[in-house]
Structures are given as structure tokens and as C-alpha cells.
Structure 1
Amino acid sequence: MSKVQVKIGLKRDLHSGNILYSVLNDAWDISDLGFCGPADKLSTCKYGNLPYIAPEVINGKEYTFKSDIYSIAMLMWEISSGQPPFINYEHDCNLAINIINGMRPKIISEIPSEYKNLMEQCWDADPLKRPGINTFKKKMNEIMSYYQNKPNELPQLKIKTNNVTNNNISSRLFTSKIHKFENLPEPKNATEDEDEVYNNPNLHSEEQDEFEIPDDGF
């Protein structure tokens, strides 16, 4: 992330499909799409790539700098795992309500603790608990500098690679669309037990039943 130029300015629709690489300058950049979106989008709808949209925005609030920080957390997870967040989920109301209720991608155990802590701060359900962009850049540069000086301490990550061949899946993962959800609860962080249920498909709790939305719910 330290090589991506995170410029001051509201991005709104921030996801890996909007990160560009310049061969000429050997630099990564975020395309400035803050005001992009369909011209006929209703004011009550949100335009974006669902796994990267902050829970408060899913719940109807406006995009802010802190919602961009949430999106950056999803990019941090994607970099550490080698795959987009929620790759096996449909981008529908069920995923939306799970995000609202605190579901986050399962953290790769080998990543540095400083990186993990920063990522978790950035995807907190409470926007006020997320760091500002300058604080984020400072902490990321500190992490980068530490491991540049002590490369032997850098953990060896076991990156999973997923070759997305299905056109429908590829389109879902890397493109944005209009979303409209209604009557959602207030965003919250998941408890440890809830987090375990979210990240283990073999577990199922009565509480999770309450989170599920019928197909005709919207």
C-alpha cells in the first residue's frame, strides 16, 4: 500500500479495479473516480463494489474520507491474501447485511501484527475509530521502513492465487454497480463468536439465522 499514491481527496468508489500501474513511471496510483457513477442513479442508491463499501454507506450514509479508509482496509486484506475480499459471495443483500453485522474477511495468520492491527482499525464499524489518511500513511511508512531495515523478520506469506475464468465472477469482482438496501440495522463489529461463525462455513448459530434475509426481502 505504501507504493500506491493515496492522494488527499474523496475517492468514493475505491477498489482494486480502480488501481492503475504506470510502466513509464513505475508507480501505482488510484484513479480519481470520486464523482463517477451512472447519471440516472437515484440519490437513495449507492454506487460501488459491495465488498469495499463501508457499512455505514451500505446503511444509507454518504461517502466520507473515513469510508475511503474502510475501502483501503479491504485493499490491505487483498494484498495480504492475493485475492479480492468475499470472493465466494454474491454481491447481494445477504452479503450487505453480513457486512453491516461485522463480517470481515478472514485475516491471514502470517501477516505482521502491526499490519493486522492497522487493517482492523481501518475496517472498524465505527468510522470515528478509523485512522485519518495522514495517520494511515504514517503508520504504513513505519511498517515499511521497519521491514526494509530488518528484511529477515518479514513473514513469508502463503499467498493464495485464484485464476478467475468465469466471466460473470470476474465482472462481479472488479466492477461497480448500483446498490439499494433498506431497513438495515446499525453497523456493528462482530463478536469473537460471530467472527468464528462467519469464517467457518461448518458452523451455524441461531444468531446467524437472524441475520439472513429472505430472497424476496427487497
Structure 2
Amino acid sequence: MFNSYITDFGLYKPVSQDSSSKALFGVLPYIAPEVLYTNGKEYTQKSDIYSFGIIMSEVFTGYSPHHDIPHDKDLATCICLGYRPKIRCEVPQLLLDLMNKCLDAEPKNRPTAGELASILDHFFQDLGKEATELYKQVKNIKGIDKNFLTYDQVKSMRFKYQTHPQAIYTSRFLNLSKLPKPGNNTYIFKMLVICFVKISEICQYSKCR
């Protein structure tokens, strides 16, 4: 059996830079809103939990987070306001709830690393037990999938998506300032995305509220 490890969630900085400097470096979609808001000054283990939640969304969908929009200050603003990667596929509700807890705008509402490990281990055990809720949810989704495309067809489609030319997935200096205080304002995005409003326009709308 192989063990997987996720590393390098910490804030990246050039080797030449003073370690005490608070300049913000990283890959924007994976950075927690409180880190963006404080420009790197408020970084805790709970910030890593947020990053783990983003990776969960990537595993669920097969899409890189926010792949279809520019990774700029508008996106940083929206992340602080509660905008999160879209889940366009069926996912067991228990896993979806866990992901959303990891992505909560309030760090204290996210699970600790120990709690997360315990929950995931519990889920792993439940997958082999027919009486558990997770097993039932997974089985139900598999039943739904039979009526649509095969797994290989869906996987092939997912990994052929186009990435926006300004979506950047390498660590870089992020010159961000005057971002809104983080909050779980998902209702703003649900209302405006339905109306096909662009991310930049949503951000402007949110700033006026």
C-alpha cells in the first residue's frame, strides 16, 4: 500500500528574501481568505486546512480551481467574500459537507488536521460497510452515473478543459491590498452567477454593499 502526502502549503518566498518579510507569495486559488486579507500576516494551520479543501474540490471535479477566470485581485476579492470552486458533478453529501467545512471563511469553523485525519479514516472504513450512510450515498451516485456517460468518457472530457490564459498555477508574488474582510457570503454569488454576471462585476457589486 502506498501513502500519499500533500506538502508545501506554506507561503513561498524567494531564497534571497528576508524570512521575516510578510510579502505574500503563493498560488492564489489555494490561499485561505484570511491570508489574502492580511497579506500573509495571519497564517495558521487552519489556513492549510482551507488549501486541503480546495484540493478536495479538484479531486472531486477533475478541474483546477478557478481555471476559467483570471487569477487577479478581482478573484482575491471574491474569495474573501465567499466565492469557492464550482462543483459540477455528483459528490456524496458527507464528503461535500466536509469540503465546505474546510473552505469556511472563518478559520475556527474549519476542522483541525487531527480531526480531518480522523474523519477521513472513518470514511475510508465506512466505504466497505453497506449499512453506513457514506456507502449508501456512493452507491446511489454510481447508480445515477449508469444513466449517463461512462467514467472513462467523463474523465476524458474533464481533462480536456481549457484554462484561462490569466489563470496562474505557479507560486508568485501577490501584490494585494484593501481586500474585504472574509465572510461566507455565498448568497451573493448564487444570485448573480445565475444571471451570468462576470466575476469582476460581482466583485464590484459586493464592494458597494
TM-score, normalised via structure 1 length: 0.72
Pair 1:50-2:28 in alignment: yes
Q: CA deviation at 1:100?
A: 0.7
Judging changes above 3 Å, is the alpha-carbon distance between structure 1 residues 167 and 181 closer, same or farther for their aligned structure 2 residues?
Answer: closer
| 2-structure distance, mates of 1:116, 1:147 | 15
Judging changes above 3 Å, is the alpha-carbon distance between structure 1 residues 165 and 101 closer, same or farther for their aligned structure 2 residues?
Answer: closer
SS in 2 for 1:27: coil
Contact 1:105 1:199 in 2 (8 A): no
Judging changes above 3 Å, is the alpha-carbon distance between structure 1 residues 125 and 161 closer, same or farther for their aligned structure 2 residues?
Answer: same
Specify the alignment match of 2:196 in structure 1. Answer: 202
The structure number with the bigger radius of gyration is: 2
Number of corresponding residues = 186
Q: CA deviation at 1:144?
A: 2.0
Specify the alignment match of 2:6 in structure 1. Answer: 30
Deviations 1:169-198 (A, max 9, x none): 68x23x211112111121011143x13146
Q: Which has the higher contact order (CA 8 A, sep 6+)?
A: 2
Specify the alignment match of 2:180 in structure 1. Answer: 185
Q: CA deviation at 1:50?
A: 0.4
| 2-structure distance, mates of 1:117, 1:33 | 22
Q: Which runs of 5+ in 1 are unaligned?
A: 1-24, 213-218
CA RMSD, 1 decimal: 3.2
Task: Decide which structure has greater strand share.
Answer: 1
Judging changes above 3 Å, is the alpha-carbon distance between structure 1 residues 130 and 99 closer, same or farther for their aligned structure 2 residues?
Answer: same
Deviations 1:25-64 (A, max 9, x none): 7332224564752134572421111000000000113321
Q: Which moved more, 1:121-130 or 1:30-39?
A: 30-39
| 1-structure distance, mates of 2:128, 2:166 | 37
1:195 maps to a residue whose letter is F
Contact 1:197 1:204 in 2 (8 A): no
Q: CA deviation at 1:202?
A: 1.4
SS in 1 for 2:158: coil
| 2-structure distance, mates of 1:145, 1:96 | 37
Deviations 1:110-161 (A, max 9, x none): 1111101111111100001111011111111222221232357512376551
Specify the alignment match of 1:126 in structure 2. Answer: 106
SS in 1 for 2:5: strand
Correspondent of 2:15 among 12, 33, 39:
39
Task: Decide which structure has greater helix share.
Answer: 2
SS in 1 for 2:46: helix
| 2-structure distance, mates of 1:177, 1:74 | 18
| 2-structure distance, mates of 1:97, 1:167 | 18
Judging changes above 3 Å, is the alpha-carbon distance between structure 1 residues 74 and 198 closer, same or farther for their aligned structure 2 residues?
Answer: farther
Specify the alignment match of 1:64 in structure 2. Answer: 44
Identity %: 30
| 2-structure distance, mates of 1:186, 1:199 | 21
Specify the alignment match of 2:64 in structure 1. Answer: 84
Runs of 4+ in structure 1 off by over 6 angstroms are: 164-167, 204-207
